[in-house]
Amino acid sequence: MAHKIAILGASGYTGAELVRLISQHPGLEIVALSADRKAGMEMAQVFPHLRHLALPTLCKINEIDFSQVDLCFCALPHKTSQQVISALPDTLKIVDLSADFRLRDPADYEAWYGNPHAAPELQKEAVYGLTEFYRAEIAAARLVAGTGCNAAAGQFALRPLIAAGVIDLDDIILDLKCAVSGAGRSLKEGLLHAELSEGYNAYAVGGSHRHLGEFDQEFSTIAGRPVQIQFTPHLMPANRGILATAYVKGDAQEIYSTFAAAYADEPFLDLLPFGEVPSTHHVRGSNFCHIGVSADRIEGRTIIIAALDNLTKGSSGQALQNANLMLGEDETTGLMMAPLFP
């Protein structure tokens, strides 16, 4: 019998992506979809690409009978999420896609997000949802916090190296290029086609992007001492995809071996042959992350490039991967579709 699934905040891109993925999952059934301002509408009106699916009508959160729900995906905006989740039954399994439970330390949360956390107890309970590095905890968790999409890409490119101590921890640069759907379906001038298409620019330059909170937390934890990286995101004229280019000091072959060992059994983390470079084209719409390692002409410098789809592996695909673990399903179920190219 299928696990019963609710999705809160189904009218955004990550909500729609969850529906797309779950529609191919044999073990899950969507029983509720919420979207406060669009309650009463059909999903087909909000996302016509899903019109072939039989889906519940969009409702308000308080109209959902959570006693009939096995797991709830929460795709609400930051800050709203912590309030809503606080009010949900404390036995309900939850995968949160917002930023609200990614940082474990309330002081860190306040520093990066500018307000005190409204549910510090839940914050303590939440498990960081980077599946490949928190598998056991996620399988046992009630509340899992999905990572930032940039944070996921950056960690896939750097975590094993920091853990293995094969790179200089004080000189890590992450130049990241993110497609526009990472900013969601919000009405901002900078997200208009005419403002984005055919051009590109950096943003949050110099260390103000909130995903740095996750990098600091995770890299410092595994290094056992404070680690701060440089991180410059760029907005790219494309709808899906993150390309993370990391510049590190360390031996390229040793770095390659470290990845090869760390990711040998990973179904979704795919290390390319040494010297090959990944492209966002080759992961679009899929849950795969391609990772390439190249030596620089300067001795002791290495470039690592990771490519993933921000809406899939960077967000909703990761969420489903975590949900599979939490529900006792095979981790890869519903996630092995091939990328869409061209």
**Which of the residues 266 through 295 are near its own copies (CB under 8 A)?**
270, 272, 275, 277-286, 288, 290, 292, 294-295
For its own copies, the binding residue among 192, 223, 260, 261 (CB under 8 A) is 192
Neighbour tally for 175: CB within 10 Å = 17
Question: How many whole angstroms separate alpha carbon 323 and alpha carbon 3?
Answer: 10
Q: How many residues bind its own copies (CB under 8 A)?
A: 86
Question: How many whole angstroms separate alpha carbon 291 and alpha carbon 145?
Answer: 24
Scanning residues 137 to 166, which ones bind its own copies (CB under 8 A)? none
- Assign 326 to helix, strand or coil: helix
Scanning residues 198 to 217, which ones bind its own copies (CB under 8 A)? 198-203, 205-208, 212
Residues 88-117, mask of contacts with its own copies (x by CB under 8 A)? ------------------------------
Residues 47-86, mask of contacts with its own copies (x by CB under 8 A)? xxxxxxx---------------------------------
For its own copies, the binding residue among 114, 136, 188, 328 (CB under 8 A) is 188
Question: How many whole angstroms separate alpha carbon 204 and alpha carbon 188?
Answer: 16
Q: Which residues contact 11 (CB under 8 A, 6 or more apart)?
A: 35, 37, 38, 46, 47, 58, 185
Query: Is residue 41 within the footprint of its own copies (CB under 8 A)?
Result: no
Asked if 8 and 73 count as a contact pair (C-beta separation under 8 A), the reply is yes
Question: How many whole angstroms separate alpha carbon 257 and alpha carbon 266?
Answer: 15
Scanning residues 228 to 267, which ones bind its own copies (CB under 8 A)? 228, 230, 232, 234, 236-241, 243, 245, 247
Query: Is residue 13 within the footprint of its own copies (CB under 8 A)?
Result: yes
Characterise 232 by phi-psi region: left (phi > 0), alpha (psi -120 to 50), beta (else). beta
Verify whether residue 149 is a known catalytic residue: yes
Q: How far is the CB of 54 from its own copies (least distance, A)?
A: 12
Query: Is residue 316 within the footprint of its own copies (CB under 8 A)?
Result: no
- Token output for 16: 């729609």
Query: Is residue 42 within the footprint of its own copies (CB under 8 A)?
Result: no
Residues 53-81 as b/e (b if ≥16 CB within 10 A, e otherwise) read eebbebbebeebebeebbbbbbbbeebeb
For its own copies, the binding residue among 33, 169, 307, 308 (CB under 8 A) is 307
Looking at beta carbons only, is 66 or 274 nearer to its own copies?
A: 274
CA 220 to each of CA 68, 135, 156, 227: distance values in angstroms, whole numbers, following the listed order: 40, 19, 15, 5
For its own copies, the binding residue among 8, 10, 14, 20 (CB under 8 A) is 20
Q: Which stretch binds its own copies (CB under 8 A): 85-93, 126-134, 155-163, 183-191?
A: 183-191
Query: Is residue 136 within the footprint of its own copies (CB under 8 A)?
Result: no
Looking at beta carbons only, is 106 or 267 nearer to its own copies?
A: 267
The candidate with the shortest Cα–Cα distance to 3, out of 93, 90, 85, 88, is: 93
Query: Is residue 225 within the footprint of its own copies (CB under 8 A)?
Result: no
Give the active site residue among 59, 72, 149, 178. 149
Question: How many whole angstroms separate alpha carbon 85 and alpha carbon 92?
Answer: 10
Asked if 201 and 284 count as a contact pair (C-beta separation under 8 A), the reply is no
For its own copies, the binding residue among 36, 195, 251, 266 (CB under 8 A) is 195
Catalytic residue list: 149
